[in-house]
A and B are shown apart, each in its own frame.
Chain A
Amino acid sequence: MKANLTTRWIIICLIWACPLILTHWNINKIATTMAEIEKEEIFRLDDLFWKNNSGNISKVLTRRDSLALPVESIKFGLLAVENSLRALASKHKFNEVQMESIPGQTSDSSTPLTLYFEGPFEGILPWLKTLQNELPYLMIRHVKITTDPFSKRAKFQLQFYFRYTINDSVNPT
């Protein structure tokens, strides 16, 4: 009789084990399903976003790409930048152009540069605009201008970050 009672308890325990196992399985399944639904929702939203903004996306990516100059090596990159800056300075009637780089502070994607030049004070505004448009990979950190109020000429000292990406297949511009 005691065995009978024990057997009944074992059967009941086994029966109750099934709901527990099923509950555990269901909870896991719900969590997985929720994650899948979330993922699918993200996919759906991505898809919708893609459909509505594909033109804008390419513009933003192009703009982002322009913020770093693809170069074969840092030295080639610096040479290219120096040439560009000299050309730009000459275009805006600046002279005494001198560029310095600080190799110790170079990282994988940027290196600091310092540019010195002299010229008419009013020339700096179009120069900066052209710099922003044509050389967006140069990020200005610091600008120091010393002017002579009577001659209206100024000395300029600009510190940049030259942002680049090392890319073997690309020729420096």
Chain B
Amino acid sequence: MFIERKLLTEYPDLQDIKHFFDFTFSQTGMENIKVNVFFLQEPRAFKLYQKLSEINLNPARISTPALLWEQKLIKIIPDFDMGGTCLVHLLPLECFLYFFFQGRLLFSRSITVPDFQKEPAEKSSDLSLESPNKFSVLTYEINQSLHLFSQKTKSDMNKIYLLSSDIGNTQLLSDKLGREVMDFGMDVPNLEGLQESPGISEYLGPVGSFDTVDLSPSRLHLNLTHSSLKKMLEWKPVQTVGLVVGLILIFFLSMESLFLWKWPHTSRDQMVKNGSLSGINQKQIIRQYGEALDQILAETDCPSPRKVIINIGRSIPDNAWITDMDIETETNPAVSINGIVRVSGADQLKDTFSTLLKNLNRYFRGTRSLSIQNIDFKVDENKVEEGYNNFLFTLKFNLP
């Protein structure tokens, strides 16, 4: 947003400029982070873009030879990011000057030398021999640019390269400038087939030095095309992946749906064919059976008074009689016994109760173990026999 506002302020006549820019960050020191903004500023470019758009030709990527050279030189000149580098690209009709500082494009110039245009190409195939004045003009322009470079960077130019179809031009330009000029084709290592071919250069101009390897991957290069198109290009891989994944998912999920739609029908049809779905009646009867079992089990869980009486009868010693018996079978099953014991002394009374308790614990398994403390007893004073005492006892315990 800041860059857009800045561009609109700087170029108020070019409203579309906010759509045609790109930027990079560069750091020279520890804290000096710079933003380098590149944008279209020629009204012709906007008009051209508009005309192309009208016929549905939207240039997907827009760059300049200077920016392409920057990317290319980073790869092929080892100390490109140290100091200043100048590249002079001499073509039959034009000359392009590219100035880089610390591996970044500083500025570029396009020089049209009048002498070049006047002389036919067939006559001036050897510039070094026939047109030394052209180099005077070129020298002047280069010196002007070097001065501008010094002003901008506060440093001198380190290296000057010449890219030309004629090797002899390097020495000529070096003599004119009075400093070393290196031949780009000869002095740069790792360079293959970059000697200018006059025929192709005439048609391609400054981009004749680039091939598909230099231009790809295209996403690494600055792109000055329309921001919407740029956004579209940025999102295109995401959209493509989204589209493909979505379609794959649709395919698999459709298969799953088809399978799910088919499968239960087959299963049910098979069940019907086998006669296994034999009706609701059967299900109801089984449900009734379950309920009946629950009811019968609940009935069985209640203690049987008959069994309780039998077990108490088995437990009572011979010298004891029951006078009262309460059997509770419903909510809290329990037995309460009142009885009489006929004994000759305390020891026999103790033995009788021990036998009673032992038998009760034996026949009523599952009840809390009974002890002598559970029995309450007292002397029956109404019945006194010689040599014997009658004791009334009470015992209560829960049934399992």
Point out the residues of chain B lying under 8 angstroms from A64, CB to CB.
Answer: 288, 291-292, 295-296
* Nearest-CB residue, chain B, relative to A15: B246
Residue of B nearest to A40 (CB): B271
* 0/1 interface trace, chain B 273-299, chain A, CB 8 Å (1 if under): 000111000110110110111011001
Instruction: Answer yes or no: A93 CB below 8 A from chain B CBs.
Output: no
Which residues in window 128-144 of B have CB below 8 A to A? none
The reply to whether the CB of A37 lies closer than 8 angstroms to some CB of chain B is yes
Q: Does B264 contact A (CB under 8 A)?
A: yes
**B9 at interface, CB cutoff 8 A:** no
Q: Interface with B: A23-31, A80-88, A97-105, A165-173, which one?
A: A23-31
Say whether B253 contacts A149, CB under 8 Å: no
Contact of A67 among B267, B271, B295, B326 (CB under 8 A): B295
- Distance in angstroms from B208 CB to nearest chain A CB is 31
Q: How far is the CB of A168 from the nearest CB of chain B, in Å?
A: 21
Q: A30-B260, A67-B299, A142-B328 are in contact. Are A61 and B289 (CB under 8 A)?
A: yes
A128 touches B309 (CB 8 A): yes
Interface of chain B residues 235 through 249 with chain A (CB within 8 A): 235, 239, 242-243, 246-247, 249
A21–B280 CA distance with the chains assembled, in angstroms = 36
Annotate A48-82 by CB proximity to B: 1 below 8 A, 0 otherwise.
01100000010011011001000000000000000
Where chain B touches its partner, the secondary structure class is: helix
Would you call B229 and A1 a contact (CB within 8 A)?
yes
CA distance A82 to B268 in the complex (A): 56
Complex Cα distance, B274 from A44, in Å, reads 11
Contact yes or no, B324 A29, CB < 8 A: no
- Which residues of B have CB within 8 Å of A15? 242-243, 246-247, 250
A9-B239, A146-B324 known; A141+B260 contact, CB < 8 A:
no
Asked if A124 meets B263 with Cβ closer than 8 Å, knowing A19-B249, A57-B289, the reply is no
What is the bound-complex CA distance between A26 and B329, given in angstroms? 56
| Interface residue A8 (Cβ < 8 Å from any Cβ of B) | yes
Q: How far is the CA of A164 from the CA of B276 in the complex (A)?
A: 37
Known: A18-B250, A49-B286, A143-B325; 15 extra A-B contacts, CB below 8 A, are A1-B229, A9-B239, A16-B242, A30-B260, A32-B264, A36-B268, A40-B267, A43-B283, A47-B278, A61-B292, A67-B295, A125-B306, A139-B299, A141-B329, A145-B322
